[in-house]
Structure 1
Amino acid sequence: MDKQLTFTYEIMDVCLLAGKIMLQSGAETYRVEDTMTRMASAFGFSHSHSYVTPTGIIFSVEGKEPTKTKLIRIAERTTDLEKVALVNGISRKISSRELTADEAYESLKEVEQAKHTYPFWLQALAAAVSSGCFLIMFLGKWVDFLPAVIAGGTGFISLIYFHRLVPIKFFSEFIASFIIGLIAFIFVKTGTGLEVDKIIIGSVMPLVPGLLITNAVRDLMAGHLVSGLSKGAEAFLTAFAIGSGIALVFSLFAV
């Protein structure tokens, strides 16, 4: 394999790794494609093409040799905007000629392996407190603040636990919302809480896919119809799972 062909594949690997990290971390489709194209152009490949969907990336470059194309699959997606910012920073350094291909690849590998997420207990605590704050924001009573905190925190813990048992988002979201509704009914029936609807609304807010909905709309506005519709469908399924869990509680326990 000649040096030019080896260099071409190295640049493709750098661009694909950057795109993979960004897509797995919650970046919009158009941002991923733009970053990959800019990085390739900075390394001398002005004619590159990327096609990004929520589950895969196809990237090709054109040069003196026949067009080279690579495909990678995306299995897991989460929200880690710090990684998106770090990859954007590396992309800017590449554009300003501060990093070579090897240095950029090593920097991206460090970003991929880094753990930027907060500890699980802190995430659960934040979900619990935010549930109580959402209740107050929706004009709930202060007496319902603690029930919303407990219901929201328990629901978030249930979401993570059941998703680890069965890696199907719909199942874990359905069970978590059912548990939230059940806890809210228990508080109201025992006289500890007053308004079951406000407790439930505040408690399910940490489960709502806000970033996914935002990215779906932004991708649609940017003309990425496939990615926008697929993300919108994923957000709809999440909303449907949450609503189904709460509806089951009402159908079983409401009088």
Structure 2
Amino acid sequence: MIETNQIVINTCLLAGRIMIENGSEMSRAEDTMKRIAMNSGVNNLKIFGTITGIIVSIPNSMDSQVEGINRRAIDLEKVSAVNTFSRRYADKDITLEEFYEKLNTLDEATPSFPFWLQVIGAALVSGPLMTAFSGNMVDLGITTLTGALGYTLFYFVNRILNIKYISEFFASIIIGIIAVFAVRWGWGHSIDDIIIGSVMPLVPGVPLTNAVRDILNGHLVSGPARGIEALLSACAIGFGIAFVFRFL
């Protein structure tokens, strides 16, 4: 029984860590972990989860464990995959051991979207959203290009420094510089519209949404922490644009 409990705890912790690391709100991650435990015959699993770690224990036993969370990204495909495996386990399509192995494979071997596809996504987010917000069709092309270039710089700086806020700061500077000179040289019409559209791929929409949802669900540690994280990203973007306006 002790060995079975340990497998349940390991599976729950791995599932929860993957979900939280890749953009899931805390309530969804905890619900998935509890469902995994209930489908394994453990009806009273205790969970304390934050965005930096998860503590899981089974009452009336010596089984408990802590799992640290050292990174945070946005990959909702992995979140969906964990939920899919959980439903398959609930339907008895896979065993607990198979479930755990699939989670390990998902965590270690699942590739992210290729760089070129991410750049195309950033470009498609930038131009069309700018047009939708402002109705400005004139700057659609330059905004699409600026958004792609800004995200490209963010991607490479982040790979080197692995500090998201600094990467967003430098990407915002490039976006601001391109927007200013594009208008000065007659390639664009509105600096504000170009900047607003181009920074959209950098805006922390998912962390901000998750912060609000966590607070509403009573997670008063994770919610404010995620809110501060989103605020720091917004400040990095804003400071980058302000830096350009100050000197150009």
Q: Shorter-chain-normalised TM-score: which range? A: over 0.9
| 1:6 alignment counterpart | 3
Q: Indicate which of 171, 174, 177 corresponds to 2:169.
A: 174
Q: Could you list the per-position Cα deviations for residues 22-44 of structure 1 after superposition, in whole angstroms to 9, with x for gaps in the alignment? A: 11111110111111111112111
Shift of 1:116: 5.0
Aligned letter for 1:98?
Answer: D
Q: Which residue of 1 aligns with 2:22?
A: 25
Letter in 1 for 2:119: A
| CA contact 1:216–1:227 (8 Å) conserved in 2 | yes
Is residue 164 from structure 1 mapped to residue 136 from structure 2 by the alignment?
Answer: no
Structure 1: gaps of 5 or more residues: none
Alignment of structure 1 residues 190-201 onto 2, 5 Å: 190-201=185-196
From 116, 119, 144, give the equivalent of 1:121: 116
Matches of 1:158 and 1:135 in 2, distance apart? Answer: 20
2:206 is aligned with 1:211: yes
**For 1:207 and 1:77, how far apart are their aligned partners in 2?**
15
What is the aligned residue count? 248
1:36 to 33, 36, 42: 33
Aligned amino acid, residue 34 of structure 2: T
Q: Which structure 2 segments of 5+ residues have no match?
A: none
Q: After superposition, give the CA deviation of every residue in 1:91-143 in whole Å (9 maximum; x if it has no partner).
A: 12222333322111112122223435321111101211321112211225322
Determine the C-alpha separation between the residues in 2 that align with 1:69 and 1:88. Answer: 23
Q: TM-score of the superposition, structure 2-length normalised?
A: 0.95
For 2:80 and 2:126, the matched residues in 1 are separated by 28
Structure 1 residue identity aligned to 2:75: D
Which stretch of structure 1 is more off in the superposition, 243-252 or 44-53?
A: 44-53
Q: CA deviation at 1:193?
A: 1.0
* CA displacement at 1:67 relative to structure 2: 3.4
Indicate the SS of the match to 2:139: helix
Inter-partner Cα distance in structure 2 for 1:96 and 1:125: 38
> What's the secondary structure of 1:70's corresponding residue?
strand
**Whole-Å separation in 1 of the counterparts to 2:35 and 2:210:** 21
Deviation of 1:243 after TM superposition, in Å, equals 0.5
Q: In the alignment, what sits opposite 1:233?
A: 228
Q: Does the aligned pair in 1 maintain the 2:2–2:63 contact within 8 Å?
A: no
| Cα offset, 1:244, TM superposition | 0.5
Give the distance between the partners of 1:47 and 1:136, measured in 2 at CA: 51
Secondary structure, aligned partner of 2:67 = strand
Give 2:58's aligned residue: 61
Q: Percent identity?
A: 44
Partner of 1:46, secondary structure, is coil
Return the offset for 1:198: 0.5
Aligned-partner Cα distance in 2 for 1:116–1:58: 28
Cα offsets for 1:16-67 (capped at 9, x unmatched):
111111111111101111111111121111111111111111111124xx33
Provide the aligned C-alpha RMSD in A.
1.4
1:152 to 138, 147, 155: 147
Q: Distance in 2 between matches of 1:23 and 1:135?
A: 31
Structure 2 counterpart SS, 1:142: coil
Partner of 2:91: 96
Structure 1 length normalisation: TM-score?
0.93
Task: Find the aligned partners of 1:14 and 1:174 in 2 and give their Cα distance.
Answer: 38
Match of 1:82 among 77, 84, 93: 77
